[in-house]
Structures are given as C-alpha cells and as structure tokens.
Amino acid sequence: MRTIHTLKELRAVLSGYREQGKRIGLVPTMGNLHEGHISLVEQARQAADVVVTSIFVNPMQFGANEDLGNYPRTLQGDQDRLRAAGNSLIFAPSPEEVYPDGLALQTQVIVPEVSEGHCGASRPGHFEGVATVVTMLFNMIQPDVAVFGEKDFQQLAVIRKLTRDLFIPVEIIGAPTVRDADGVAKSSRNGYLSAEERALAPTIFSTMEEIATALTQGATDYTKLENNARSALSAKGFRIDYINIINSLTLRLANSEDQNLTVLVAAFLGTTRLIDNLSIKR
C-alpha cells in the first residue's frame, strides 16, 4: 500500500493501473478511521480492483465555530488499519494541494434542494464544502465507483444528485451504517464523548426504533411522533438539533402518502453533535 500526497504522483500511479484495465474505487474520508470506514473499503474492494482511500480534513465543510482545528489527524493509525483491510492507495493531500489559491477564490459546487433543511439548515455552507471537495476528488482520481456511508444520509443524497446532474461517470454505492452492539452508529465524533455521555448515546437509536415501529403500524401524525421523541431525548440530557421524518427519496418532510420514510436525528451530548437515521418502507 502506498501513501501519496500530491496530485501529480497520484495521476501517474493511477495511469498505470488504467493501462492494465483495472477498475478503480474511491472511499473519501477525513481520516481518524473506525470500523465504519473500513466497511466502506471492504465494499469498495468487492466493486473494484484498486481501492483509493482519500484522507483529507476538508476546511471548506467546517463552520466558523466547528472543530476543524481539533479534528483528529491520525495518519499512522489510519495507514495501519487500511493496510490490514487490503486498501491499495492512500491519497492524503495538504490543504495547499487541494486549494492552491485558498478557499476564498475556490470555485464551489452547490446542490439545490437536497442540501437544504436538516443538516443543511444547521450547518450553513457545509454541503457546499462537501459537494465541492467530492467533485474535486472525482476529477482528481476519476474512479469507476465510490462508496459512501448511509449514516450521513443527507450527504449521500447530495452526492448522488451532483453526480447525476453533472454527468460524472462514477457509480455511487451507499454502504449500511455500522453500529456498536448497543446500536450507536460508528462515528469519529464518538471519541469526544465522556463515559457518561457514551452510556446515553444508544438512546438515539432506541428512539428511532420506537418511531419506526409506530410508522410501520400506520401512525401518520408525524409532528406528534417528532415532538414525543424530542421530549424523550431532552429528558435524557440531549440538546436536540432536529428530529425529522422525511420522504427517503426527496428528503422533504413526509406526508401521509409517502411509503419510503426515513427518521433523521441530530442531537448534542455535551459539545458533541451526533447524527443518525433509520429508514423504513410502509
């Protein structure tokens, strides 16, 4: 496994693989890898001959009061995990390599509608940063397939739309959320939780399961379900960002006619913002 830091070297290496007729897969990450990321690499290995995992803490997707400076940089540990997982290449560019003219002068990609609401409302500019860097990675690496986790449900929808709208010839694979035994979704941010907060974290998943059960039993008063969930989580010490029941395809707030539904949750434990989702079909 090789670790590459420049676009020039990356393209030279990938050109050799293409000449051999190899199918190239991409797993974009910000590093600090856990089992969820490794599951994406494993899926990419099933779909491609060569797997490139990018490790880049993208400054464009962090807001002014978010944790860009404190986000863990764990390249050595990430290399060890990826080597054991059978990853082929790591692309770990510097911010200067990706944004040579700085963020202020960088062309941005804006994905309308699916970027709005939910995390898009709570984190202005976040999805513009995600869409821009993913588009850049697609152009840098030119993969045949790219794998993203379903835990970031809105992000996956944004990436699917930009790929379709811009006619980018990349197959997008959504990988199921990897969870701990108690239901907590694997996330780099879980490492910020105190022991007491980590003990409370499974309540998000159990609350989503309660909503899903009600939905499968025919409940259609979505506002009541959302409000009850907010009250339950708030009573446990969560600070709610949003709890929304949405149409899984459009990401709009659901109505009684929708059959494919997803429960989206974002909530803080202490200073740590956790997101999760659960989809059902009625």
Contact (CB, 8 A) for 208 and 263: yes
Question: Choosing from 34, 37, 118, 126, which is the catalytic residue?
Answer: 37
Q: What is the C-alpha to C-alpha distance for residues 249 and 262, in angstroms, rounded to an integer?
A: 9
Which tokens belong to 151? Answer: 């835990």
37 is catalytic: yes
Query: For 270, left (φ over 0), alpha (ψ -120 to 50), or beta?
Result: left
Which residues 6+ apart lie within 8 Å of 110 measured at CB? 128, 131
* Helices (runs of H) and strands (runs of E) counted in the chain: 10, 9
Q: Which of 219, 62, 71, 195 is nearest to 133 (CA)?
A: 62
- The CA–CA distances, whole Å, from 84 to 90, 122, 180 equal 13, 37, 21
CB contact at 8 A, 134 and 56:
no
Residue 267 near residue 233 (C-beta atoms within 8 A): yes
From residue 88, how far is each of 3, 22, 82, 122, 173 by CA, in Å?
A: 9, 12, 8, 36, 19
Degrees to nearest 5, angle at CA 116 with 94 and 229: 105
Catalytic site positions? 37
